[in-house]
Chains A and B, each alone.
Chain A
Amino acid sequence: MRFERRLEQPRWLSLAVPVGSMVVAFGVMAIVLLATGHNPLTTYRRLFDSAFFANGALTSTLVFCTPIVFTGLAAAAAFRMQLYNIGGEGQFYWGAIAGVGVALYLGDQGVTSTWVFVPAMILAGMLAGAAWAAIPGLLRAFFKTNEIITSLMLNYVAGLLVTYLIIDSKSYWRDLESFEGQTFPLGKSIPEEAKWPSAEIGSIVVPLGFGVAIVTAIVLWVAYGRTRFGFELQVIGDSQRTARFAGMRLRRKIMAVMCISGALAGLGGASYEGDFAYQIDPTGIQASFFGYTGIVVAALAAYNPLAVVPVGFLLGGLQNAGFTLQGADFPSGLVGVMQGLILFCALGGEVLIRYRVRFGRRVSAATGPAEARS
């Protein structure tokens, strides 16, 4: 088996490879399921039913996939420039904390208009996420510190902060008044008017956050593909030396990209609170792995913002179903295994885009013509 570099990359392959990866991943997962004594067909049917086909499934999938689309956009924005911000998880928590904080504060100030709450929460979430992402960004830009490890370490710190705010302190975010809140640590609910509205299309309820996500994806696609800023990012991503010689300001761009990425993850956190969580739930928010799933989504979408939306919808649906079905006969972790497998297959499949695979022995120059003569 040999690899030959392709001179041209056929366009159809860039769609066929991700789709093929999913098919192969489901095949491999079926083997894992069989090996551990589960029936893959019934497992898959339950998974897809619960994600997409059952009554109300699409509505809950849309709600659940919205944060994942945001974290997917966050990862795509950074990974495209070879900046591996894997701190989406922590930036997401910060977005949630800031979004809820602002909603609670405005509620206390007597604000009642949803159209004040929503932009305020979005802005607060984006700022908080960007600020948290600025830490690894600064360290990377000025000290050349590996942003992968620093951004990841900060996820744990942000997680501890969430736990501290609700469980270990009497913070502004904690419900200390209601009966439930006094018996068990709970987050304070945001005011009724701060809950984000939704639109009904047929029988499907589309949350506002999903609409914002689509708009954000388009904006990001334009910014990265159609502007000078995006072009410079592409150059930096391809070759830092070229970019430096062309006079591009590397440090500023690194900071900008990390902050954009963090802002997107933070916006995801705000939308998660506005659309369906309504309060800081320290275990729930950490058990969902929204930030890490975003990385899978972005990689599978080949860091194309427009592709992040459908891929996020698909993976978000499966993850939602995984959580709903979790129980004795439906092993937890199944969805994570599947996401990992899909990503492995997509990575392996990429070789098909870049290289042509030839099987069999190399035909030497001497035997070719000889055969032709005989």
Chain B
Amino acid sequence: MSGFLAAGVNDSFLVLILASAVLYGTPLLFAALGEVLAERSGVLNLGVEGMMLVGAVMGFWAVQSLDAAGGVSLAVAVAVAAMAGASMGLIHAFLVITLRANQIVSGLALTIFAGAAGLSSYLGNDLDLSGAPAAHVFAPLDLFGLGDLPVLGPILLDQSALVYLSWGCVLAIGFYLTRTRPGLNLRAVGESPAAADAMGIDVTRYRYAHTVAGGAFAGVGGACFTLQITPQWVNGLTGGAGWIAVALVIFAFWRADLCLVGAYLFGAFSALPLLLQARGWLDSIPAEVFIALPYVMTVVVLVAVSSGAAKRRLGAPAALGIPYVREER
């Protein structure tokens, strides 16, 4: 009887959309967390979209070419995706930290280099990845056998390991930024690199480390698509998620916990068209309107944030986007 009730509630539109919000928000969450790390160190990385795509394609390649048990090969694939994203982050770091290039243009260059018409597409074709479904995917775990608990089950307890990993990362990064010495040093580097330098903090090393780490997170975010959501390799499959993640960081005032809220909000926007289509609701409105929703909402939210709280520059690292040159401070 209770099982029957649960099934009824859990099939309701609200529960379904919340559960899919978590699923579709996870790649955004990983990418946004990575961007928080990079931007907190003062490095703006607009190459998130490109780093995600390279992570997605390399993670998919790993899972297709490894001949191992599902769990092992998925874990390796996530690691490969992280390394692929990190290596993209390293290119950006070298250009903007060592060579002091314009961070905006370098980030755009990274997206063009790695993006839908660049390296990720080249690798996808060259490694012959398109067309086949993933050999292993991240499946819902059904924690404690409570996956069909009313409401909470599908949303919180029946998600994949990637989702739980992302929650761990939110906690860890939140703790790191506010409660640990290196985290506080990192914030000093992003707010006032000259002061940090005078304190004996190695500005260059901090910026390198966090830009590369940001790339790794973006890579894992990309792998969420090829290993769980899609789950196969389609050229350009992130569809602007990397850019939404960049916007999320502003929306979240550079805080890890708010990234989670924002990511799930935009996850819900991304999931909406599919759910509406499945139910046959609002058929009279063109599908494109709903597909455009996450993009339009990104603009709306950015306007709301930039005219309100961000006017006081809430959270934005003061040295964001500015190269640090010791001789010229």
Interface, chain A (partner B; CB < 8 A): 3, 5, 36, 79, 84, 86, 139, 143-146, 148-150, 152-154, 156-157, 160-161, 163-164, 168-169, 289, 292, 295-296, 299, 331-337, 339-341, 343-344, 347-348, 350-351, 354
Contact = CB atoms under 8 A, between A and B. Distances in A.
Contact of B243 (A149, A163, A292): A149
Contact of B292 (A5, A156, A289): A156
Interface stretch (B67-75, B197-205, B254-262, B302-310): B302-310
A148 B100 CA distance: 20
Given A163-B288, A299-B105, A344 B91 contact: yes
10 smallest CB-CB distances across A and B, nearest first, come from A340-B113, A333-B121, A333-B122, A336-B118, A336-B117, A343-B109, A347-B101, A160-B288, A153-B295, A164-B288
B108 A295 contact: yes
Contacts of B303: 139, 143, 145, 150
A335 B119 CA distance: 9
B302 A145 contact: yes
A21 B264 CA distance: 42
Nearest to B109: A343
Contact of B109 (A152, A164, A347): A347
A350 B105 CA distance: 12
Interface string B111-123: 0111111111111
B126 interface: yes
B119 A333 contact: yes
Contact of B99 (A79, A84, A145, A351): A351
Contacts of B250: 146, 149
Given A168-B287, A292-B112, A343-B112, A149 B298 contact: yes
A350 B101 contact: yes
A336 B113 contact: yes
A168 B299 contact: no
Nearest to A354: B100
A79 B91 CA distance: 22
A150 B109 contact: no
B324 to A, nearest CB: 13
A292 B125 contact: no
Contacts of B280: none
A333 B120 CA distance: 8
Contact of B307 (A143, A160, A354): A143
Main secondary structure of the interface of A (DSSP, over half): helix
B302 A150 contact: yes
A161 B246 CA distance: 24
A295 B111 CA distance: 11
Interface string B203-228: 00000000000000000000000000
B101 A146 contact: no
B179 interface: no
Interface in B92-114: 95, 99-102, 104-106, 108-110, 112-114
B240 interface: yes
Contacts of A150: 298-299, 302-303
Contact of B126 (A36, A169, A339, A341): A36
Nearest to B92: A344
B7 interface: no
Pick from A86, A156, A334 the residue with the most CB of B within 10 Å: A156
A257 to B, nearest CB: 16
A203 B29 CA distance: 56
B169 interface: no
Interface in B274-306: 286-288, 291-292, 295-296, 298-299, 302-303, 306
A285 to B, nearest CB: 14
A176 B115 CA distance: 35
B243 to A, nearest CB: 5
A3 B204 CA distance: 15
Given A145-B306, A149-B243, A340-B112, 6 more contacts: A333-B119, A333-B124, A340-B119, A348-B99, A351-B100, A354-B100
A145 B304 CA distance: 9
Contacts of A160: 288, 291-292
A347 B95 contact: yes
B302 A337 contact: no
A156 B95 contact: no
B110 A347 contact: no
B299 A139 contact: yes
Nearest to A1: B98
A344 B113 contact: yes
Kindly name the residue among B99, B102, B115, B298 whose own CB sees the greatest number of chain A CB atoms within 10 A: B99
Which of A148, A168, A354 neighbours the largest number of chain B CB atoms within 10 Å of its CB? A148
25 contacts: A5-B328, A86-B108, A145-B299, A145-B303, A149-B243, A153-B299, A156-B239, A160-B288, A168-B287, A289-B116, A299-B105, A332-B121, A333-B125, A335-B117, A336-B119, A339-B112, A340-B118, A344-B91, A344-B109, A347-B95, A347-B101, A347-B102, A347-B106, A348-B95, A354-B100
A70 B327 CA distance: 40
Given A334-B122, A336-B119, A339-B112, A144 B311 contact: yes
A289 B118 CA distance: 11
A270 B140 CA distance: 49
A1 to B, nearest CB: 9
A146 B306 contact: yes
Contacts of B239: 156
